[in-house]
Amino acid sequence: MVIWLLSGLLMAALSIPLIHERVPRNWLYGVRTPKTLRSDENWYRANRYGGVLLARAGATISICSLLLLPFASRLRPDVVGYLGLAITLIPITIATVLILRYVNKL
């Protein structure tokens, strides 16, 4: 659970430069689609929106990990693994779908 807690905090931290429009267009970091890479306006709008959603996803991952931490020692290791996977994939998937929907509307 500690790994998922830290990964959620890292995701939230990495989203801060996107929210504050500190990341120029590039092929490595941010919401990279043909539409966002076409113009600075689309890039910054999509990454500001995406950054907020990724910060929320990271916070959700971290909070859920913290809530499950006291129970992790009582659960079987495979159950802890499945819970960690769900805690991570569900918020990231929701954020990704919402970001892609937003980009399609640009």
Query: What gap in Å lies between CA 94 and CA 92, rounded to an integer?
Result: 6
Q: Tell me what the pLDDT averaged over the chain comes to.
A: 95
Span 89-98, average pLDDT: 98
User: What predicted TM-score, i.e. pTM, was given to this entire model?
Assistant: 0.91
CA–CA distance from 68 to each of 6, 17, 57, 63, 80 (Å)?
A: 14, 29, 16, 9, 9
**Is pLDDT above 80 for 1?**
no
Q: What's the pLDDT tens digit per position in 37-66? A: 999 999 999 999 999 999 999 999 999 999
